[in-house]
């Protein structure tokens, strides 16, 4: 266009002189949008103010402030600007209900026994339940009781039989199923 104005020649002649196709002269140069520049600046400010925030939190903040922007556009701008991902937080350790700091460990055999109920089905689609008791220290399976049902009295019978063969355990670890929270087992 500049050559065309300087030499007062037609577009066709000027394009032929500089060996360019005429269609390259018809597209205007893309100018960076002022709103996008402001959005990029705001994203950088948000990332500087809140170092633990990710692009998702920045997107929510921008929407609350009234910006009409897509979350995918925020993700693209966040990446193009080279803004950091949030630093991973150090997770707090879980506190146990009894106030103890750590989980009870099996330092020697027969200190901690674990019991659980598993389900399966026969070829005739009838349910089968397994009551398993395991010594956590040696990973030895102390008992497996198989039956159509499993009740708290079955658990008590298994533990009475086990205490005749092995020394008494200090702790029994179990789930929260109906077998384990029944009063019969708790009284035992």
pLDDT for 162: 82
d(CA 1, CA 16): 13
d(CA 68, CA 65): 9
Mean pLDDT of 103-127: 78
What is the tally of helices (H) and strands (E) in the chain?
A: 8, 4
**Tens-digit pLDDT profile for residues 13-32:** 888 888 888 887 776 656 56
Is residue 173 classed as helix, strand or coil in its secondary structure?
strand
- Output 166 or 58, whichever has higher pLDDT: 58
Which pLDDT band holds residue 135 (cuts at 50, 70, 90)? confident
d(CA 135, CA 149): 23
**Tens-digit pLDDT profile for residues 67-82:** 989 999 999 999 999 9
What percent of the chain has pLDDT above 70?
Answer: 78
- Output 40 or 159, whichever has higher pLDDT: 40
Rounded to 10 deg, the angle between the 55-65 and 34-49 helix axes is: 120
């Amino acid at each position: 266009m500049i050559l065309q104005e300087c030499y007062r020649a037609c577009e066709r002649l000027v394009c032929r002189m500089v060996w360019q196709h005429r269609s390259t002269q018809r597209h205007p140069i893309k100018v960076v949008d002022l709103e996008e520049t402001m959005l990029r600046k705001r994203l950088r400010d948000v990332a500087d103010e809140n170092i633990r925030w990710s692009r998702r939190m920045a997107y929510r903040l921008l929407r609350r402030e009234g910006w009409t922007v897509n979350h995918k556009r925020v993700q693209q701008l966040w990446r193009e600007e080279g803004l950091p991902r949030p630093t991973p937080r150090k997770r707090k350790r879980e506190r146990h209900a009894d106030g103890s700091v750590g989980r009870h460990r099996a330092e020697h055999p027969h200190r901690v026994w674990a019991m659980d109920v598993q389900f399966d089905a026969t070829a005739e689609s009838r349910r089968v339940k397994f009551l398993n008791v395991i010594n956590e220290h040696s990973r030895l399976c102390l008992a497996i009781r198989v039956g159509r049902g499993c009740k708290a009295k079955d658990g008590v019978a298994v533990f009475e039989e086990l205490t005749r063969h092995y020394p008494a355990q200090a702790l029994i670890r179990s789930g929260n199923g109906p077998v384990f929270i029944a009063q019969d087992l708790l009284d035992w």
